[in-house]
Amino acid sequence: MDRLSLSEGQIYGVMGPSGAGKSTLLRLLNLLDEPTAGRILYRGRDTARYRPRLELRRRMAMVFQKPVLFDGTVFENVAYGLRLRGLPGREVRRKVAENLRAVGLEHLAKERARTLSGGEAQRVALARALILEPDVLLLDEPTSNLDPQNVALLEELIRNANSRMGTTVILVTHNVFQARRLADRVVFLYEGRVVEEGAAAEVFSSPRDERTRAFVHGDMVY
Ligand SMILES: Nc1ncnc2c1ncn2[C@@H]1O[C@H](COP(=O)(O)OP(=O)(O)OP(=O)(O)O)[C@@H](O)[C@H]1O
Ligand SMILES: [Mg+2]
């Protein structure tokens, strides 16, 4: 039986060919999907029986490959989660300003989110996740549609969240170089199974599994 144990405060790079189950793993961790077999424990507690469920969901935030923003202003998008949590307006405004500043978009607060460029939209999506100060940040190929400058910025923001707030980051990426830059540990999936997990430096320099080796060396088509 596969067993994957994720430690707090680490940045995990989740890799593997297309269809390996990376997005599925993130959706399971985020409690968007229910496992048909096996269990997911959060700090030792079975997530299927965790109550209140909302409390658990609120410890996690997710960012997708395509930025998911609703039709409203940038401010409203970033404020949304805090409003749901019932924070007073003044607090919300302060935090939104702070988080937009962090992603370099304070000047766009009043713009409609759908008028943003891809890179700007993804930065808003990240600000919207980070403002919630999640314990776990789940990222599904968050930079694969972005230009190098935005990639570097997003990577910096992810690294900062991890080092400043101790956010555990689970980053799905196809990019071996990105995983090398960011990940403390690497999880390699193949056909729905965990075939390798270990310290990034080790997995990249001397992968134990032959499929991981092929992937790391760019021999595997994905
Ligand atoms: N809810 C579901 N029920 C059953 N099968 C599913 C479900 N969601 C995805 N799958 C299948 O599970 C496999 C893994 O899909 P998943 O989207 O997790 O792959 P992935 O590793 O994220 O791939 P990619 O790199 O292309 O994004 C695929 O074969 C997919 O068709
Ligand atoms: Mg996927």
Residue pair 96/79 in contact (Cβ under 8 Å)? The answer is yes
Q: 68-96, pLDDT tens digit by residue?
A: 999 999 999 999 999 999 999 999 999 99
Ligand 1 atom nearest residue 65's Cα: 27
Q: Is residue 222 part of a domain?
A: no
**Domain of 132, in residue numbers:** 11-216
Q: 34-73, pLDDT tens digit by residue?
A: 999 999 999 999 999 999 989 999 999 999 999 999 999 9
Q: Is residue 5 part of a domain?
A: no
Q: Is residue 34 part of a domain?
A: yes
Distance in Å, CA 8 to ligand 1 centroid: 26
Q: Is residue 208 part of a domain?
A: yes
* Secondary element (H or E) of residue 168: strand 168-172
Distance in Å, CA 161 to ligand 2 centroid: 23
> Which residue is listed with tokens 């607090």?
91
Using DSSP bridges, classify how beta strands 185-190 and 168-172 pair: parallel, antiparallel or unpaired.
unpaired
Tally of domains within the chain: 1
- The domain that holds 133 is classified in CATH as 3.40.50.300
Judge if the beta carbon of residue 173 lies within 6 A of ligand 1: no
* Secondary element (H or E) of residue 180: helix 176-182
Both tokens assigned to 154: 């997003």
Residue 90 main-chain phi, psi, to 5 deg: -65, -45
Both tokens assigned to 107: 């000047």
- CA distances for 170 relative to 127, 162, 183, 184, angstroms: 17, 11, 9, 10
Q: Is residue 65 part of a domain?
A: yes
Protein residue with its CA nearest to atom 26 in ligand 1: 18
Q: Is residue 4 part of a domain?
A: no
Judge if the beta carbon of residue 144 lies within 6 A of ligand 1: no
- pTM, two decimals, is 0.94
